């Protein structure tokens, strides 16, 4: 029996992203508090930006490569797949997807307009998000 593929709509995808950003913010604040407690002090603005980008890279790419999803997407029962094959996406696809994500708040408006509910970063990377 073939399983019906379902693509999540805008609101569940937004909720998953908000959950992931919330987890990232908690992690960053815990690391910052630990640095202050150890006497390292706060990061300079440029270092703070580099730290934030590094933390986001490790979080998103790490989860995508290891699990094919993030904690927010797990909560929403979704995962990232190759849009054509519906198999696990390649590393290059995930890197491209991550690099396009800064345009997320523009790209999410593609979700209601595409057959596979793809955001801009999904369209460019050739990925899709499906319900599991």
Q: Identify whether 105 is part of a domain.
A: yes
Q: Examine residue 126 and state whether it is found in any structural domain, yes or no.
A: yes
Domain membership flag for residue 109: yes
Dig out the tokens for 91 from the structure.
């590393």
Q: What is the pLDDT of residue 1?
A: 47
Mean pLDDT of 122-126: 96
Range of the domain at 113: 10-131
Better-predicted residue by pLDDT, 110 or 34: 110
Task: Classify residue 2: in a domain, yes or no.
Answer: no
Give the model's pLDDT for residue 46.
Answer: 64
Query: Has residue 44 been placed in a domain?
Result: yes
In the predicted model, is pLDDT for residue 3 greater than 80?
Answer: no
Q: What is the dihedral of CA 132, 21, 89, 96, to 10 degrees?
A: 150
Q: How many domains does the chain have?
A: 1
Q: Is 33 exposed, middle or buried (0-12, 13-18, 19+ CB in 10 A)?
A: exposed
Quick check: 11 pLDDT over 80?
A: yes
Q: State mean pLDDT over 28-39.
A: 83
**Axis crossing angle, helix 91-100 with helix 45-67, rounded to the nearest 10:** 140
pLDDT exceeds cutoff 60 at 65? yes
């Amino acid at each position: 029996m073939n399983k019906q593929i379902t693509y999540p709509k805008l609101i569940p995808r937004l909720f998953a992203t908000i959950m992931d950003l919330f987890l990232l913010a908690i992690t960053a604040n815990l690391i910052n508090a630990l640095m202050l407690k150890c006497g390292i002090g706060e990061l300079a603005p440029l270092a703070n930006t580099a730290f934030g980008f590094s933390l986001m890279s490790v979080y998103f790419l790490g989860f995508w490569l290891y699990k094919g999803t993030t904690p927010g997407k797990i909560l929403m029962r979704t995962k990232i797949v190759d849009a054509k094959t519906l198999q696990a996406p390649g590393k290059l696809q995930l890197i491209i997807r991550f690099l396009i994500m800064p345009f997320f708040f523009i790209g999410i408006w593609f979700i209601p307009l595409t057959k596979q509910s793809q955001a801009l970063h999904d369209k460019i990377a050739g990925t899709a998000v499906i319900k599991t």
